Amino acid sequence: MPVFSSAALRSSVVSRLRAAGCVFAEDEARILLTAAATPADLAAMVRARAEGRPLEHVVGWAEFAGLRIAVDPGVFVPRRRSEFLAAAAARLTGPGALVVDLCCGSGALGAAVTATAGHPVELYAADLDPAAVRCARRNLAGTGARIFEGDLFAALPDAVRGRVGVLIANVPYVPTGDLELLPPEARLHEARPALDGGADGLDVLRRVAAEAPGWLAAGGSLLFETSERQAAGALAVALAAGLTAVVSRDEELDATVVTATRP
């Protein structure tokens, strides 16, 4: 696709985005100018972004862990902080490991793990949202992944039970009462079930942790993201499920990950 190189046009796009409140207007202008195939495309994209649609929904993809991940309107946009979760999962993924990406969304985490593991991985992914599952099928095409639509473990084939070496579960963890505090991009344009973690943000995690021991192989690990302020509660949930658990933190990415292992 062509890149519009006119300095005047670039300046105009940056000004429009700044006026709309886009903090990273110059970076976003560069992406929009690259993504647009025609002047009409560019005008429509800039208008949509200025109206508050997430940039990733406007251009149809998000950059994640060095990959271009397809993201359709309404689908949860993978956050850069989740690269910490992907890296932690990849480190535990040995040759031939059975990996499950639960609440997979666009499939970004599974794609990142298979791309960086450096050896074949048996990947299963599942999500409740049909739109997310469609994205995951595109993003995981060619990896041999098996992708399912359904509610958490109920979506998985029973043959996986007790064999999972790495279980990635990027569950929603925003407390219901905090949803209105989210940026409009997320609050208005991403599926609520991908964000809402219940009263304390840990409801979906409790469901996953309670069932995880029955799906993990001995020594297998459940990895999930949480917020720094919820880390103690999330750790307690994992321990209550009979898993040993540790918390890891990346200050630069503002990312907190719990790794919970079946003894």
Alpha-helix residue ranges (DSSP H) falling in the chain:
7-19, 25-35, 39-50, 55-59, 83-91, 108-116, 130-139, 184-189, 203-215, 231-240
Which strands make up the sheet holding 122-127, listed edge to edge? 146-149, 122-127, 98-102, 164-169, 216-226, 255-261, 244-250
Residue-level pLDDT at 22: 85
Tell me if residue 253 falls in helix, strand or coil. coil
**C-alpha of 245 from chain center:** 22
Residue-level pLDDT at 5: 59
Q: Which residues of the chain have pLDDT under 70?
A: 1-5
Asked whether 100 and 168 are in contact (CB, 8 A), the reply is yes
